[in-house]
Amino acid sequence: MTQLDEALTSTIYASTGRDMGKSFRMSEIDPMTKAGYALRFNSALRVDSYQALIDMWREGAEEGAAPIDAIMKTLQGSDAQAIHALVSELLDYVHVAPDPQHPGAFRPLMKTDIREMRTLGDVLLALVKLNFISEA
């Protein structure tokens, strides 16, 4: 019997500077790993609860703030080393199609694929929305 992969994905298209035209596809994170990320993020961000963190991100999105601004505001006062490690791990769930001529040719993301802070913010926010905000 064949089992279909029912993982959710989300794709965004970069529109800034050196990333213009690149496609980024985010993948769903399995529930056990996701729970571990939520616990580690709460601890590293020094927030009261997971829901408080989600509410902060929703607030930023509703105010129309650039995704990177909302993320940077959230990171103030956090454990920077722990956050860096978590963000690096989360980017394992992102694939890129770096050539606008071949938008469906995705491959695993390398750290040199994102060249603009705004793109990084857009990618991280899309990953968080797909995996964390929709369930809160």
pLDDT band with cut points at 50, 70 and 90 for residue 135: low
Angle between helices 50-62 and 67-75 (to 10 degrees): 150
Q: How far is CA 52 from CA 58, 86, 105, 129, in A?
A: 10, 19, 37, 15
Q: Say if residue 63's pLDDT is above 90.
A: no
pLDDT band with cut points at 50, 70 and 90 for residue 57: low
Boundaries of every domain in the chain = 9-135
